[in-house]
Amino acid sequence: MTFTEKCENPLKPECEGGDIAVYIQAGSKRLPICRSCWVMLAEQDVEWDEDGIRLKGELTSSTDRSS
Ligand SMILES: [Zn+2]
């Protein structure tokens, strides 16, 4: 069984790129990021941690942490 992952870039929700370059660990989520989005992220000041992804110090995406 083949599972094809698609990009889940939270900064570009419409992206459905399939050439996953990296995975970003954001909280309990592990987000596949396609190559073109990875280049985009690398060009911007994006950082991520267990609370989600931040763009230039601003929280742009948070994960639900109900636990
Ligand atoms: Zn993408």
State the pTM of this model: 0.69
Cα of 15 vs centre of ligand 1, distance in Å, is: 5
Can you tell me whether residue 24 is helix, strand or coil?
A: strand
Provide the pLDDT for residue 46. 82
Q: Please, which residues have CB within 8 angstroms of residue 24's CB and are 6 or more apart in sequence?
A: 30, 31, 33, 48, 53
Cα of 66 vs centre of ligand 1, distance in Å, is: 27
Cα of 19 vs centre of ligand 1, distance in Å, is: 8
Cα of 43 vs centre of ligand 1, distance in Å, is: 14
Cβ atoms of 24 and 33 within 8 Å: the answer is yes
Residue 5 CA, chain-centre distance (Å), reads 13
Distance, in Å, from the CA atom of 67 to the CA atom of 57, rounded to the nearest integer, reads 25
Domain ranges of the chain: 1-58
Question: From the first residue on, what is the mean pLDDT of each consecutive set of 10 residues in the chain (67 residues)?
Answer: 84 94 88 93 82 66 57
Provide the pLDDT for residue 36. 95
